[in-house]
Amino acid sequence: MIRLAVIGMGGRGSDLTAKLARIDPELTVGAVVDPDPAGVRLRLARLGLDGPRWQLQESQFISLENLVERPASFDGILIATRDRLHTPQACAVAKTGLPVLLEKPVAINREQLDSLAETFAGRMDSVVVPFPLRETPLFKRVCEIVRSGVLGIINHVQAVNFISYGGTYFGNWYRDYDLCDGLWITKTTHDFDYLNQLLGVRPRTIAAMETRRVYGGDKPADLRCSACAITATCPESPQAMLRRGDSGGVFRGDAGQVGSLRPGAPSPPAVRYSDLGPDDHWCMFSSISNRHHDAASCLISYENGVLVSYSQNCVSRRSAGSRGARITGYLATLEFDWNRNSLTLIEHHGRQVTTENIDAPEDGHGGGDELLLRNFLAVIRGREKSRSPLDDAILSVAMSLAARESCRSGRSETVDVPPEMNRTRVARVNFSVERTPQSR
């Protein structure tokens, strides 16, 4: 029986716990580090974890210090707190020697990145980072095609994330930059990770830019739709969302509070997102959102000469949403899209065009969540190493930091990894064909 310690049992933490319990019905939660015991019990009950052994007692809610002092009481640790807490909490529990499921992004600045790499040097494959895109059936099929060599020499990848639920980053708690440290960190790390796995070599430089022409603005930080004078005509009002049948992500993950938790910051509004109800939400044109980009692009050069262009947009809606890439080689082009769970292979020197629709579960990021959670349980039992290890996650954050700095400096920035990373080979996918016969 696996005894799990959970640090942060909010929406994501409780969801991952419930999925682990469905995979392993004998799994138990031995302790929870969370300041809201009542909320934890409510979320677990809503997810169907309401049996006798899920009636968590007050004694099971402990401090991080207590958890670290009791390593023999647990078999593994799940960390699913706010982004800026991931590194300090992971470094604190590292001394237990237990396997860790660490939510991404694993760090939010250079200091955290160096600390994390130093603390876990030599044991990064004992940490599972939930990057589910790399484990989806669609991406595995894409990697299979790429490794087969049928594309020939690959010289360019065009990746996009047109986010159909982008409103969550402006009308939800994510809109506070000081809670999520910007979309280059909280969002783009996912896409950088799968690009690294796809190409199998390290990135060298990133040149990035960003803009904000739609969201953010000068509306008050605590303005709600119900109290706004233009609710009847605003395209982001609940009435407009109802007419188009899509909220654009505004009502995703509504358990948090708006406002910063940083020391000395003003107290957040007393009303929680979950208290606003289905007919109200925070203004997406508020001053609190004016540090996020609503569109961004970057150009990445990799060690093998491949160029990658990546674009992100937060204002796409409905079927305009798209997440995937076009991979161009000398012999063929491969396109894939997670939103449609399909791929298309186009021959360049022949007539064949092949389209495949890939079956994938609707829940859990196209099946990726469950596969990584099964891997985490196998790591705890000593049967496997992490399939999404910490060194890969550190690389993706290093790229995000370089992109963010490039936006500030106006220059191309080197992807600078911690010294401990120079002893490891991060990406694990190689092309089987480096050159075509004609190019030799």
- The pLDDT tens digits of the residues spanning 399-415 come to 999 999 999 999 999 99
The end-to-end CA distance of the chain, in Å, is 57
With a CB cutoff of 8 Å and minimum separation 6, the contacts of 367 are 132, 135, 136, 137, 360, 361
Whether the predicted pLDDT of 428 surpasses 90: no
Closest CA to 274 of 174, 172, 186: 172
Closest CA to 100 of 2, 5, 197, 1: 5
Q: What span, in angstroms and rounded, lies between the C-alpha atoms of 17 and 169? A: 24
**3-state SS assignment for residue 209:** strand
Write down the pLDDT at residue 215: 92
12-22 pLDDT tens trace: 999 999 999 99
What confidence category does residue 276 fall into, taking pLDDT thresholds of 50, 70 and 90? low
Per the DSSP assignment, residues forming a β-bridge with 29 are: 4
Question: Which region among 66-70, 228-232, 306-310, 342-346 has the lowest average model confidence (pLDDT)?
Answer: 228-232
**3-state SS assignment for residue 68:** helix
Cβ-count burial 378-407 (b if 16+ within 10 Å, e if not): bbbeeeeebbbbbbbbbbbbbbbbbbbbbb
State what percent of residues in the chain have pLDDT above 70: 88
Q: Average the pLDDT over 284-300 and give the result.
A: 92
What confidence category does residue 422 fall into, taking pLDDT thresholds of 50, 70 and 90? low
263: burial class by Cβ within 10 Å (0-12, 13-18, 19+)?
exposed
Question: Which region among 154-163, 202-211, 227-236, 384-393 has the lowest average model confidence (pLDDT)?
Answer: 227-236
Structure tokens at 343: 């791929």
Q: Average the pLDDT over 258-283 and give the result.
A: 48
Write down the pLDDT at residue 258: 33
Instruction: Give me the residue spans of the domains in the chain.
Output: 3-133+364-388, 135-357
Q: Average the pLDDT over 293-297 and give the result.
A: 97
Write down the pLDDT at residue 440: 36
233-251 pLDDT tens trace: 999 888 888 888 888 888 6
Q: What span, in angstroms and rounded, lies between the C-alpha atoms of 293 and 170? A: 10
Q: Which residue has the higher pLDDT, 177 or 427?
A: 177
What confidence category does residue 373 fall into, taking pLDDT thresholds of 50, 70 and 90? very high
Closest CA to 154 of 326, 336, 311: 326
pTM of the model: 0.89
Q: Is the Cα dihedral 22, 23, 25, 27 positive or negative?
A: negative
Q: Average the pLDDT over 213-237 and give the result.
A: 89
With a CB cutoff of 8 Å and minimum separation 6, the contacts of 399 are 188, 189, 192, 196, 203, 206, 300, 415
Whether the predicted pLDDT of 255 surpasses 50: no
What is the dotted CATH code of the domain comprising 3-133+364-388?
3.40.50.720
Q: What span, in angstroms and rounded, lies between the C-alpha atoms of 205 and 257? A: 37
24-37 pLDDT tens trace: 999 999 999 999 99
Q: Average the pLDDT over 73-80 and give the result.
A: 97
Q: Which residue has the higher pLDDT, 288 or 352?
A: 352
* H helix or E strand, kind and range, residue 44: helix 37-46
Structure tokens at 219: 């509306």
Cα-to-chain-centroid distance, residue 27: 25
Q: Average the pLDDT over 77-102 and give the result.
A: 96
| Phi-psi sector, 149: left (phi>0), alpha (psi -120 to 50), beta | left
Mean pLDDT taken over the chain: 87
What is the dotted CATH code of the domain comprising 135-357?
3.30.360.10
Question: Which region among 154-163, 168-177, 214-223, 417-426 has the lowest average model confidence (pLDDT)?
Answer: 417-426
Closest CA to 20 of 94, 99, 95: 99
What confidence category does residue 177 fall into, taking pLDDT thresholds of 50, 70 and 90? confident
Whether the predicted pLDDT of 139 surpasses 50: yes
